[in-house]
Amino acid sequence: MNLLRRLTLRQLEVFVEAARSLNLSRAAETLHLTQPAVSMQIRQLEDNVGLPLFERIGRGRRLTEAGERLLLHASRLLGEVRDAEQAMQALKGLAGGRVTVGLVSTAEYFAPKLLAEFSRRHPAVDVRFLVGNREALVRLLRDADIDIAVMGRPPPEVETASEPLAGNPHVLVASGRHPLVGRRHIDLHSLRGEAFLMREAGSGTRLMMEELFRTHLLRPLKLITLGSNETIKQAVIAGLGISLLSLHALGLELRAGEIAVLDVFGLPMQRIWHVVHLRARVLSPAAGAFRRFLIEHTQARLAEDFVGLPQPPIPARARAARRSASAE
């Protein structure tokens, strides 16, 4: 009980953010604090716990055993506090409230436009976006750090409820000056000598490219790993290699002719955007309203933004689930 009297939720919030990023400057930026303020909160927490929570490793840092154990409990505790806040908001209705949405990095190319429209309709609702790769979003969902997530395949390792939003075609792209641009029905194996540009481990786009290689028994001679869609697009434009990317990350570059879709047999790979939340979590009115808005408007927004580009329909079974979800 002595520990519970001394520590504060703010200390736990700062510790959890610092533990996940292992970077005090990044944690300070996320929490809108100064780095000295973050350092002070962590020192006070370590004094209260009576054990060091971080240790230095070269220029970086890592959690001690005490830090790892405290992170587990602190994440659960903060999740319970957020659930309590959501329950109180539910009693107030949609006159206000807050929703935290996790986005895989590809979704940030279209989700902000949907947020802008939702905000015009519900100006009192505060919507916060957190962007990361698939692995990061699964962790945020598991720890209840986000209310809902916009991602591709729902994570089987977490008990979630998911609804389809829209088709998400993935295409093989090259520089607009690539000699294969305009050629029809390219055999994927003829591209074995090309450099394939891949996202980092934990990215859903990387998983899809690895699936493409397995399905076609392809072993490219050269693989280059890059850390973001933007970096990959710039590398493709520069002629460094080819890559598999979501069509929804390519609108500007395709229209400008900087990037071109290669007509490869068996492509595009058709996937579905989903909105996902923990099955055991009761969404607040604000989070529920934004979820319904995404279900009702994402398909039309993407069709409008990518007019003239291939938009696969949502499969019949997914459409039925989508109608059921939007009627809730």
CATH of the domain at 281: 3.40.190.10
Domain identity same for 208 and 225 = yes
Confidence of residue 89 (pLDDT cuts 50, 70, 90): low
Tell whether 81 is covered by a domain: no
Domain identity same for 205 and 59 = no
Domain identity same for 321 and 283 = yes
The whole-number average pLDDT for the span 99-119 is 91
What are the backbone angles phi and psi of residue 101, rounded to the nearest 5°?
A: -115, 130
Tell whether 157 is covered by a domain: yes
Q: What is the residue range of 61's domain?
A: 2-76
**Mean of pLDDT over the chain:** 86
Domain's final residue, options 270, 295, 313: 270
Alpha helices in the chain (DSSP H): 2-6, 9-21, 24-31, 35-49, 65-92, 111-121, 134-142, 204-215, 229-237, 251-256, 285-305, 316-326
Q: What is the pLDDT of residue 5?
A: 65
Alpha-carbon distance of 75 to 73, in angstroms, equals 5
Tell whether 48 is covered by a domain: yes
Domain identity same for 247 and 218 = yes
Q: Which residue type is seen at 261?
A: V
Q: What is the pLDDT of residue 326?
A: 44
Q: In this prediction, what percent of the chain has a pLDDT beyond 90? A: 51
Tell whether 152 is covered by a domain: yes
Tell whether 24 is covered by a domain: yes
DSSP state for residue 50 in the 8-state scheme: T
Tell whether 83 is covered by a domain: no
Domain's final residue, options 76, 104, 119: 76
Domain identity same for 238 and 217 = yes
Q: What is the pLDDT of residue 328?
A: 47
Domain identity same for 139 and 277 = yes
Number of domains in the chain: 3
Model confidence over 203-224: pLDDT tens digits? 989 999 999 999 999 999 999 9
> Is residue 294 over pLDDT 60?
yes
Model confidence over 8-60: pLDDT tens digits? 888 999 999 999 888 888 888 888 888 899 999 999 999 888 899 999 888 88
Tell whether 82 is covered by a domain: no
Q: What is the pLDDT of residue 199?
A: 94
Domain identity same for 156 and 213 = no
Structure pTM?
0.67
Domain identity same for 258 and 276 = no
Domain identity same for 162 and 177 = no
Confidence of residue 155 (pLDDT cuts 50, 70, 90): very high
Model confidence over 221-259: pLDDT tens digits? 999 999 899 999 999 999 999 999 999 999 889 989 999
54, β-bridge pairs: 63
Rg, Å, the chain Cα set: 22
- 26: domain CATH number is 1.10.10.10
Q: What is the pLDDT of residue 21?
A: 87
- Angle (CA) 23-26-30 rounded to 5° is 135
Domain identity same for 94 and 158 = yes
Alpha-carbon distance of 27 to 245, in angstroms, equals 30
